[in-house]
Amino acid sequence: MRYAAVVFDWNDLRLFLQVARAGSTLAAARALGVNQTTVARRIATLEHGLGLALFERGPRGYELTADGAGLLLQAEAVEAATLRLEAEAGRRARDLAGSIRVTATHPIMRHLIGPLIGSYRRINPEVTFEILTAARHLSLEDGEADVAFRSAKALTGDTLVATRLPDITATLYCSDAYRERHGAPGSPAEIAGHPVLVYAGTPGMERFAAWLLALSSPARIAGSANTPEDMVGTLLSGMGVSVLPCFLGDATPGLGRCFEPPPDLDRAWWAVASHEAYGRPRVRSFMAFAAEHIRLEGAGVRRPGRDNGRQSMPATASSDRR
């Protein structure tokens, strides 16, 4: 013999418990702030759905039947589990609320992380952000920031929690005006025929200058800049060609790629937090969102290899304390 599945509303079960405890639909209705007729109707609906008579109606009110008494302990267990679930949901909601202090270099914050934060807050409006683009590197261990977005080949030092993000791509750029007057290199091998602009005294940018000079020569240096933002202005002057991160170069009107990003200019980057900060649900949630939503093309990033993922790793060398 096959039996139909029993389906009932938790609110009806809640009414059953209140009537069983109060002894009447009137007392239950007063305790719950609802209409007595509604209580009686919902009890009848529950009995019909279960196929059982739960109460005997009489002058003394509602008294549990044997079946009702047999289900009372199970109903109380459901009530206790429901209350625990509600309490846990409330705790998690409170933990997700609050502030996150995020640090990154100015161009990464402006072009990559700022829009990401806006998207995150549209679905998590209870979280606020403190944006920190300090000239010096901020210490996660000392609590100067909760989450740092760091560009580095490897992270070394005291142990932090790091999530590998898609690699930042870079390539050679020139201005539209320069391209019209002189043409543009179509490959790295053609850079030697053009004046180059290099980075001077810029941590993290030395590799771009070395890459350019390996394909050109010091005699071809037409100028220098000490930040990527300054390099944008220098390139727009039409003085020559230089390397920019694609998220910055692609977003600048008047500049264009000379050729597609060569893999040897890719730069690994990470979302990093201290273990203390990572213990907060809102920080874990935001870092997971960042890893999921930074995409391949529009952001000027390239997906990393199989080593992508959250890691506990050394992450506080001088080049990484951002």
My answer on whether 177 and 207 are in the same domain is yes
| pLDDT digit string, tens, across residues 283-304 | 999 999 998 888 533 446 665 4
Rounded to an integer, what distance in angstroms lies between the CA atom of residue 258 and that of residue 261? Answer: 9
Please name the residues in contact with 248: beta carbons below 8 A apart, sequence gap of 6 or more. 107, 111, 228, 229, 232, 300
Provide the domain limits for residue 141. 99-165+268-297+305-314
| pLDDT digit string, tens, across residues 83-114 | 888 766 666 655 567 899 999 988 889 888 99
In a domain, 4, yes or no: no
The token pair at 22 is 């109060």
CATH number of the structural domain spanning residue 290 = 3.40.190.10
CATH number of the structural domain spanning residue 38 = 1.10.10.10
| pLDDT digit string, tens, across residues 115-160 | 999 999 998 999 999 999 866 678 888 888 999 998 877 776 566 8
Domain boundary residue among 95, 117, 140?
A: 95
Q: Which has more pLDDT, 311 or 143?
A: 143
In a domain, 187, yes or no: yes
| pLDDT for residue 89 | 65
| pLDDT digit string, tens, across residues 197-244 | 999 877 678 888 899 999 998 999 999 998 889 999 999 999 999 999
My answer on whether 258 and 290 are in the same domain is no
The token pair at 319 is 């080049």
Please name the residues in contact with 134: beta carbons below 8 A apart, sequence gap of 6 or more. 103
Does 271 have pLDDT greater than 80?
yes
Total structural domains within the chain: 3
Instruction: Report helix angle 281-293 to 66-96, nearest 10.
Output: 70
Q: What 3 state SS string does 78-112 have?
A: HHHHHHHHHHHHHHHHHHHCEEEEEECCHHHHHHH
My answer on whether 255 and 182 are in the same domain is yes
The token pair at 246 is 């694609």
| pLDDT for residue 197 | 95
Please name the residues in contact with 60: beta carbons below 8 A apart, sequence gap of 6 or more. 23
| pLDDT digit string, tens, across residues 19-67 | 988 888 888 888 888 888 988 898 898 888 888 899 998 888 888 999 9
Rounded to an integer, what distance in angstroms lies between the CA atom of residue 319 and that of residue 203? Answer: 8
63 backbone φψ class: left, alpha, beta (φ>0; ψ -120 to 50): beta
| pLDDT digit string, tens, across residues 154-166 | 776 566 898 888 8
Rounded to an integer, what distance in angstroms lies between the CA atom of residue 311 and that of residue 308? Answer: 9
The token pair at 207 is 């590799």
In a domain, 2, yes or no: no
